[in-house]
Every structure is written in structure tokens, then in C-alpha cells.
Chains A and B, each alone.
Chain A
Amino acid sequence: MAFVPMSVPVPDEAPVSLWRDAWSRLLRNRLAVAGLVMVLVLVFAAAFGPMLTPYDFLSQNLEARNLAPSLSHWFGTDDLGRDVFSRVLYGTRTALIVAVVVTAIAVAIGVALGAVAGFFGGLVDRTIMWFTDMTMSVPNLLLVVVINASLKTPLSQWMEARYLVTLNPFYRETIWVDFLLVFGSMALISWPPYARLVRAQVLTIRSRPYVTAARALGLTNRIILIRYVVPNALGPLIVAVSAGLGSAMVLESAFSFLGVGVNPPTPSWGNMISDGLRVWQHYPHLLAAPAAVLGLATVAFSFLGDGLNDALNPRGSK
């Protein structure tokens, strides 16, 4: 009796890429969806929020100072009579812009250094990793504060001088100095974890049989890096970025709190919290509103990060 190989029975379904698979896994995770929705709301609020509120976040109304929350002022008003809800909404924009830009810079630096270190190894690797460890060893709040404190004045003076020479109104906007310093110094302390992660990823992926197989096919290093290493290292990076966005928001508010972040009158959750703390006992809403929103944002990103982690690295599936 002969056993003839038969055609292989395969169910006819549309092919599912790992990305789409992960996406559907993410949507089944309730906490992750909650996080995703909250993040989307934050993004929406940052993009359109300030247009939707009847009050300007800057316009003061000394008649209506320190009002308790009401229908006309959802979160009440502050000591200059500014609408807190509008300010919190605008703070969302500040927080998100800072978080996105800082994370983007940090990821760019981290990915470049980590990939180079992991791919070339040897002395290059050791030098980059030494530099990474060194950066990590400086207490980061201290570093940011020092950078801000020492560079803010000279930078503003330089801008002022440029203005006097060029009369370009661009140089009058001190907000650029703020953002430049905040972005720069925060990115400086945020990149090392990304570099370490990417390096570790590159090291593991490099030793996978499919990369050896690609080498055996004669493919060039460039193709291997682009088509084999990068797409497979992306998953953990996405998880790290999601978590990183959350911590960048917290960091921004911490710096604003210490007075080295975004300066008033630009609303930021950090400086609102800092202001609110001074009058907490009398006007609790001034503290509660920004603190609660910051907490929500952090929780949202951490839910999303956890969900992404589960979706992109499903345990037990091969």
C-alpha cells in the first residue's frame, strides 16, 4: 500500500501580516483600547481644543478671579481670571508637542547610535556604550536644570542682539529659546535607553538564522539591515516609544514645575501645577485640573504601552 503525498490542505484565508495580527490583538485588549482612546482624545484636544473653547487661554479677566468650576468655566478660573479649562487644553498641546519632538530626537539619536554599536561591534560598540552609560550616570534632572539655567540667559541675550541687528520679529519670540532648551536638554537625557534597546535588538536579530540565511544568499549588509534587521527591531521600539512619550510628558511638567521648562504665560501642566500648589488649600481646582489631566495622560500612555507590548510580543506564539 502506498502513501502518495497529497496536496497540502490549507484553509483559504487572506494572508495576515504580523503587523495586522498585532493590531487585531491590540484591539482585543480592553485596557490598551482605553489607553488608545485616551491618547486619541489628547491628540484631538491638542489639535483642536483651543479653537473650541469660548475663552482665550491668555485673556485675563480680573473681575472673575479664582472662580470655582461652573458651567461657564468648567474648571474654574485662576488668579488672573483666566479660564483653567482653556489653559489645560492648551497645556495638552504644549505637553504633546514637547513629548513628540523630544521623543523623536531621542529616538533618532538612540536608533542611530544603537544600530551602529550593535551592527559593527568591537571598539565602536564599546565606545558608544561607554558614552551611553556615561550619559545615563548623570542625574538627569540636575543636568537639564544646569543646561537650562546656564544657557537660557546667554541664548536670550543672543536672540535680543540678533533682533537689534536684523529687526526680524522672529528673534523677539522668547518662546523659541524655551522650546529649544527644553527639547534639547530633554532629548539629551532621553536617548540612552533607546540606544541600549536598539543595540540589544540588533544583536539578537543578527544571530537569527534568517539573517545568516540572508548572508548565505549573498545579500549585502545594507539590504540585510533594511529588510531584515530594522523591521524586526521595530516592535520593541514602538513599545518603548509609547512608554517614552508618557515619561516625556511627566518630565516636561517636572521641569516646568522647577521653573526651567516652558515659561509662563505659555500654559503647561507643570507650571499650572506649580501655581496651583501655592493656593491649594483655597482653590483646590487650580491644582486638581492639571494634575488630573497629567495623571490621565500618563496612565493612557502606559496602558497603551503595555497593550502594545502584549500585542507585539505574544508569549507562547511562535
Chain B
Amino acid sequence: MGAQPLIRVEKLQKHFPIRLGAFGERAVTVHALDDATFDIAEGETLSLVGESGCGKSTTGFAILNLHRPTAGRVVYQGRDIATLDEKAMRPIRRDLQIVFQDPYSTLNPRMTVGDAVGEPILFHGLCKRSELPHRIERLLADVGLPPRFAQRYPHELSGGQRQRVAIARALACQPKFIVCDEAISALDVSIQAQIINLLLDLQEKYGLTYLFIAHDLAVVRHISTRVGVMYLGRLAELGTRDQLFGEPLHPYTKALMSAVPEADPVAERNRHRQILEGDVPSPLNPPPGCRFHTRCPIAMAECRTIVPEWRDRGEGHFVACHAVPA
């Protein structure tokens, strides 16, 4: 991992201006993402976890420049792609792909599976028109679908099958990096396992790098190399899978881990849970200082005023918390 990272994210920020009130009379800002800094190494799976509204999806969108970042840099192949316009971004999009959460709206209902998968191939001129059917067939085989699916329309497929098509379409560009934005959250348990296996197979076969955005910690634990925990638009902790699950440092990470149930009735009965009080504050008006201090069991005076520094506490284990010794 000492080598050059595939993507370097520096102080990335995304604020959405919105209008509130019945007549849109109150202009406010959603602090969706603030000061995110991290690397994504080639071939790894970096997962971002956190509760809804914590900014993990925004991070994925901002890295791909699908939402223009408000500030910060995204360095890919030595270029800052955060400020590129749509036209300059176009050739780079081939390398950076995304798979979405909702399998029911991720495909154009008026296009067949074959068209959906074949479109990016033709658009980027990746193969001759005569070879296209063969290419589509191979891509479908890659995601475990028989060739006759090319003629089908999305509404004739199940959720899991649609997600396979969405993955095939992302693969069509022969990308290096795929953002999986809650890509398995909407699927049933048995189908989830199929898709997870598929993602792992494809990673092995094509040397893909994943940014895996999810809220299911059990799944994240299973497939990640490194994991980042986000809270209310800020990264709270980031480290290798074992660091995070073995010795979490941030109080929010600890609470999050303890809230996840385990499929073992005996362990569940004997387990002591640390349950967080209250709700996540609004991203419209995030608390000053450490954003977690309103719910933190060990909050100190300085947490209310000073934003904790994002620092490496050894071996690439980053934490933003005043209570963690350097």
C-alpha cells in the first residue's frame, strides 16, 4: 500500500444550498460532507459506513464528480478531477463507475438489457459493432446471466438480476474503480450473498478497486480491506478492517458496532449493548466542535468548541477525536 494511491481525496467538501419553508423563503445550506481526506489504494475495497444522512453517498458522488464538490481535491492519475467540467470528465468516466442502490430505478425501463450494457461500449468506441453481441454476451456471463437476457426489459427481471445487469453495465467500460452505493442494501439476504460473491469474483478477475458504501456492518466486515466511519458529514475514523472491528477508537464507532445485532441468540442475550441516546442532529445546522458531542458518552468541554483533528494514530489508523491519545 506504500505505492501511489489510485485516488487521493483531499479536504473534500460538498454543501448543498436549499430553500426551506412553504414559500422557499429560508435559504440554508446542507453540510453534506466536510473535510474528507483519504486515499484509495489500487485493488482494495474501501468501505464507508454510517447512518443515513452521514454523507457517505455524497462522498461517492463527489469523487465521481456527479455532484460538483464545493471545495477540496480528488486526484486521479495525477490530475485534480474535482474541478473538471462534464466534457473534460467524459474520457475519465470510463475508468470510474458506479452501481446504485435501487435496482428498480437504476435501469432505463425502455431499454433492453443488451442495449443498456452495449451502449457504453459503443459510445466509448471499445469494440466494433459486429463484435458487440459477443461482448454483451461475455459481460452477461461475467455477472452470471444467460445470453438470452440481452433481449429482456428491466421490468421482467427480479431485483437481484437487475443489480447484476447494473454491474455488467458498469463493467462494460472496463473501469478501474467502481463506487458501490448501497448496491446490495435493497436486496434480500440470500440474494445479497450472491451479489457480494459476484463483486468479490469480479474484483479478483479484473483487479477492480471498490469504494463500498453501506450501512450493514456485517457485510462491510466481510468484504472490506479498509473501513471508514462517517458521522454527520465528517469522517470519524478510518483504518484497516481489523483495526476498526478489532480495536475501534472513536466512541461513535464503538456505539455503532455494539448496535449491530449478531445471528447468535446466546451471544445476543448475554451481550451488553451501548445504546446511543437521541437522534442525529440536522445537517442544516450541525453542532460546532465535534459533531458527535451531542450524543457522545465521553464528551468533554473542548469537544463542544474545537473540531477534532483528523490524524493518523499509527499504522494508518485515522481518528478524529479529542479523547483518543495521539
Chain A residues close to B by CB (< 8 Å): 5, 7-8, 10, 12, 15-19, 21, 208-210, 212-221, 223, 227-228, 231-232, 317-318
Contacts and interface: CB of A to CB of B under 8 A. Distances in A.
Given A8-B146, A16-B156, A18-B155, A218 B98 contact: no
Contact of B111 (A221, A227, A318): A227
B105 A210 contact: yes
Given A8-B161, A18-B153, A218 B146 contact: no
Given A216-B98, A218-B123, A227-B111, A17 B153 contact: yes
A217 B108 contact: no
A112 B123 CA distance: 26
A208 B161 contact: no
Contacts of A219: 119-120, 123
Nearest to A234: B110
A209 B106 contact: yes
B311 interface: no
A217 B126 CA distance: 13
Given A17-B153, A217-B119, A210 B107 contact: yes
Contacts of A221: 86
B21 interface: no
B123 A217 contact: yes
B151 interface: yes
B282 interface: no
Interface string B81-120: 0000010011111101110111011111111100000011
Given A213-B98, A217-B119, A228 B108 contact: yes
Given A5-B144, A8-B146, A17-B110, A318 B119 contact: no
Nearest to B164: A8
B145 A8 contact: yes
Given A216-B64, A217-B123, A218-B94, A18 B144 contact: no
A90 B112 CA distance: 45
B181 to A, nearest CB: 9
Interface of B: 64, 66, 86, 89-94, 96-98, 100-102, 104-112, 119-120, 123-124, 144-146, 148-149, 151-153, 155-156, 161, 166, 169, 173, 194, 197
Given A7-B146, A318-B104, A218 B120 contact: yes
Contacts of B173: 217-218
A21 B154 CA distance: 13
A15 B155 CA distance: 10
Contacts of B151: 15
Nearest to A216: B98
Contact of B152 (A15, A209, A214, A218): A15
A216 B120 CA distance: 10
Contacts of B111: 227
Interface centre among A19, A21, A219 (most CB of B within 10 A): A219
A206 B212 CA distance: 25
A218 B105 contact: no
A209 B100 CA distance: 7
Contacts of B108: 210, 214, 227-228, 231-232
Closest 8 CB pairs of A and B: A218-B93, A231-B110, A218-B90, A217-B120, A209-B100, A15-B151, A210-B108, A15-B152
B110 A15 contact: no
27 contacts: A5-B144, A5-B194, A8-B145, A8-B146, A8-B161, A10-B149, A15-B112, A15-B153, A17-B112, A17-B153, A18-B110, A18-B153, A209-B102, A209-B106, A210-B108, A212-B98, A213-B166, A214-B108, A216-B66, A217-B97, A217-B119, A217-B120, A218-B93, A218-B123, A227-B108, A232-B108, A232-B110
Nearest to A220: B90
B66 A215 contact: yes
Contacts, number: 92
Contact of B155 (A7, A209, A210, A318): A318
Contacts of A210: 105-109
A231 B152 CA distance: 17
Contacts of B161: 8
B194 to A, nearest CB: 6
Contacts of A208: 105
B100 A213 contact: yes
Nearest to A21: B155
B139 to A, nearest CB: 14
Contacts of A318: 104, 155
Contacts of B109: 18, 210, 232
A213 B123 contact: no
B119 to A, nearest CB: 7
Given A7-B146, A217-B93, 18 more contacts: A5-B144, A5-B194, A8-B145, A12-B148, A15-B112, A15-B152, A208-B105, A209-B102, A210-B105, A212-B66, A213-B106, A213-B169, A216-B98, A218-B89, A221-B86, A223-B123, A231-B110, A232-B110
Contacts of B91: 218
A18 B155 CA distance: 8
A231 B112 CA distance: 13
Contacts of B156: 15-16
Contacts of A18: 109-110, 153, 155
Nearest to A232: B110
Nearest to A318: B104
The residue among A210, A231, A318 with the most chain B CB atoms within 10 A of its own CB is: A210
A84 B104 CA distance: 56
Contacts of A228: 108
A163 to B, nearest CB: 51
Contacts of B92: 218
